[in-house]
Amino acid sequence: MELELFNAETNKLWKTAAGGKTDDQLQFELNLQKKLLNFFQVGDYYYYLFNLETLDFDLVSSEIKTMLGYQPSQVDINFFMEMVHPDDRSWFLAFETKTAEFLASLPVEKLMKYKVRYDFRIRKSDGAYIRILHQVAVVQHDENGGILRTLGIHTDITHLKSEGKPVASYIGMDGEPSYLNVDVKNDYVKSKEVLTRREKEVLRLMIKGKLSKEISDALNISKQTVDSHRKNMLTKTNLKNTVELVVAAINRGWL
């Protein structure tokens, strides 16, 4: 989806979650932030404090330089949106929509008893993408449940999950129930099919390591037809070889 639409939709969601409230007098203590960091898995990570009233970061930790190659001062909300992998932006928006609905359903006293967790890919300063685990907890809200500030942490999980669709979970704390692998409908991605039904059948067998002759026997079509499907898939996806095709199919959910 287009970056401008992505930015507009996420800003609208966060503004709604904030409830239009202002509270410039509220102060945060550093020990609260450190305590909340204990809720998250650590490793290669950086953390931030996000202000839903200003739609900007109050704080980005210095670890972002080591992990992604950016200075904290570089990162504002527009910069962050551009860092999200284009193919994952619709998922990010779908997760934010679902999360807003989930948090709105909670009693005010339980807002700070949950952390949101999902994954997506983000671009480093050298242009490479890594997959991060995005974890967020509410740290400030008004008396009506309008969310004012959240504390987030991004952990590099590329070594744990290098491919596949993003997934979301809501983790309960202080005895609250957790909701894992929440079913999120991605309404923000275009429904256009990249591959035809037959191409998908060929690709599934390719992923299993089948050669063209084996695929032709399995699908009862000629080897020339199989080779034609392979060529067509590379052409329409603008990929160089079948290895890239297989990786893209898994990462982008084509099958």
Predicted pLDDT of residue 104: 92
Domains of the chain: 3-172 (3.30.450.20), 197-251 (1.10.10.10)
Per cent of the chain over pLDDT 70 is: 80
- Please tell me the pTM assigned to this model: 0.66
Q: Which of 127, 89, 88, 113 is nearest to 6 (CA)?
A: 89
Measured CA to CA, the distance from residue 104 to residue 75 in angstroms comes to 28
Q: Which residues pair with 154 in a beta bridge?
A: 46, 134
Please determine, for residue 123, whether its predicted confidence score (pLDDT) is greater than 80.
yes
Please determine, for residue 192, whether its predicted confidence score (pLDDT) is greater than 80.
no
Task: Tell me the average pLDDT across 239-252.
Answer: 80
Tell me the per-residue pLDDT of 212-235, one tens digit each, with 9 for 90 and over. 999 999 999 999 999 999 999 999
pLDDT band at residue 165 using 50, 70 and 90 as cut-offs: confident
Task: Tell me the average pLDDT across 158-187.
Answer: 83
pLDDT band at residue 26 using 50, 70 and 90 as cut-offs: very low
Q: Which of 75, 88, 63 is nearest to 10 (CA)?
A: 88
Lowest mean pLDDT among 80-94, 141-155, 188-202, 208-222: 188-202
